[in-house]
Amino acid sequence: MTEQARALESFLQREIGRVVYGVEHVVHALTIALLGGGHVLLEGPPGLGKTLLANTFARALGGRFKRVQGTADLMPADLTGLHVFNSETRRFEFREGPLFADVVLVDEINRTGPKTQSALLEAMEERFVTVDGERFRLPEDFLVVATQNPREFEGTYPLPESQLDRFMLGVRMDYPAREQEARILAEYAFPGAVQAPIEIELVDRGLVAAARSELKAVHVSDALTGYILDIVAATRQSSSIALGLSSRAALALARAARIEAALRGRGFVIPDDVKRVAAWVVPHRIALTPDAVLDGHSARAELERILDAVAVPREAVSA
């Protein structure tokens, strides 16, 4: 029932794995975001290959890739584009910014100022940008992969809750295992290695469409929907959380769980699917109270506590 979705991830894992090593979980998350029409926030220290990963992902999809380096002086027009006067036609013409690519990597997004961060909101949510009162449509498969340095790094601006909520998934990218890092050194530790990209195959766009079509047949029971709503409600009622999950987050959790089930070859969603994707959907959306932060709590630990506390319906387990 879900052969196309599994074939799509297998293809992406194989082709991206030829270039970037030890990032299977990130490719899995990117596949979920691609099928779910969402965006991904990659968190972790610099220098781990996040740019190479996003570039390779775009190449595998056969789409246009653009990279934006986040800096304090980056302006909204640097993302959206602007009107430029053409002296020959004596008219203003619109020149597209990097947001008009299929996959856009916003590197170190939390080094940009709040005004520029907010410029992404309309693009990420509506797939339109507005410049000088005129709206321009973005590509159909427009997908933002934003990287974020740890918050304790100097010169960073915390992303507002409204923007964090636009990211379907927040994925932690940690240091590679020793054997994976040895492969990196063997492949790339010579001059010009990164500048000469390894050739990879392009995905059949029909496969992406077929995989998305399969998702409609993946069953989500009423009991499972209730389980998702119980998790969402628990984040809103927790004394350690200042801002619980929104309705957009509930939709992202349900959509990601459905895709997770399909990628595991099932035609129905089970609680374990919800728990697996919750680790990517929930933590970056949780705002802890000041007291919880002082007590050393973390969003991931709070999520684990909630998942342990929320009862799993028997009907959902046996569906």
Split into its structural domains, the chain has a count of 2
For 189-247, how does the pLDDT look when each residue is reduced to its tens digit (9 = 90+)? 877 666 667 889 988 888 999 999 999 999 999 999 999 999 999 999 999 999 899 99
- In a domain? residue 201: no
Q: In whole numbers, what is the pLDDT of the chain averaged over residues?
A: 88
Q: Which two tokens stand for residue 15?
A: 């082709």
Low-confidence winner among 10-24, 99-113, 146-160, 203-217 (lowest mean pLDDT): 146-160
- Domain identity same for 17 and 113: yes
Last residue of a domain, one of 140, 171, 190: 190
- In a domain? residue 129: yes
Question: Which CATH number do you get for residue 237?
Answer: 1.10.8.80
* DSSP sequence for 42-82: EES-SSSSHHHHHHHHHHHHT--EEEEE--TT--THHHHEE
- Domain identity same for 228 and 171: no
CA–CA–CA angle 12, 184, 60 (5° rounding): 20
Question: Which CATH number do you get for residue 91?
Answer: 3.40.50.300
Last residue of a domain, one of 152, 174, 190: 190
- Domain identity same for 8 and 132: yes
Residue pair 292/241 in contact by the 8 Å Cβ criterion: yes
| C-alpha span between 33 and 168 (Å, rounded) | 7
Q: Which domain holds residue 155?
A: 3-190
What are the backbone angles phi and psi of residue 181, rounded to the nearest 5°? -70, -30
- Domain identity same for 32 and 89: yes
| Residue located via tokens 């918050």 | 151
| C-alpha span between 96 and 103 (Å, rounded) | 15
Residue 122 vs residue 299, higher pLDDT: 299
- Domain identity same for 309 and 224: yes
For 49-66, how does the pLDDT look when each residue is reduced to its tens digit (9 = 90+)? 888 898 899 889 888 889
- Domain identity same for 107 and 172: yes
Average pLDDT over residues 72-81: 89
**CB count, 10 Å around CB of 7?**
15
- Domain identity same for 128 and 252: no
Residue 273 has pLDDT above 70, yes or no: yes
Average pLDDT over residues 267-286: 96
- Domain identity same for 12 and 160: yes
Last residue of a domain, one of 190, 210, 240: 190
- Domain identity same for 181 and 256: no
- In a domain? residue 62: yes
What are the backbone angles phi and psi of residue 130, rounded to the nearest 5°? -115, 125
| C-alpha span between 216 and 261 (Å, rounded) | 12
For 254-265, how does the pLDDT look when each residue is reduced to its tens digit (9 = 90+)? 999 999 999 999
- Domain identity same for 186 and 227: no
- In a domain? residue 209: no
- Domain identity same for 224 and 263: yes
Largest CA distance in the chain: 71
Start-end of H helices in the chain: 3-17, 24-36, 50-61, 77-80, 114-126, 161-164, 178-188, 205-215, 222-237, 247-263, 271-281, 290-294, 299-309, 314-317
Residue 317 has pLDDT above 60, yes or no: no
- Domain identity same for 176 and 261: no
Residue 319: pLDDT band (50, 70, 90) is: very low
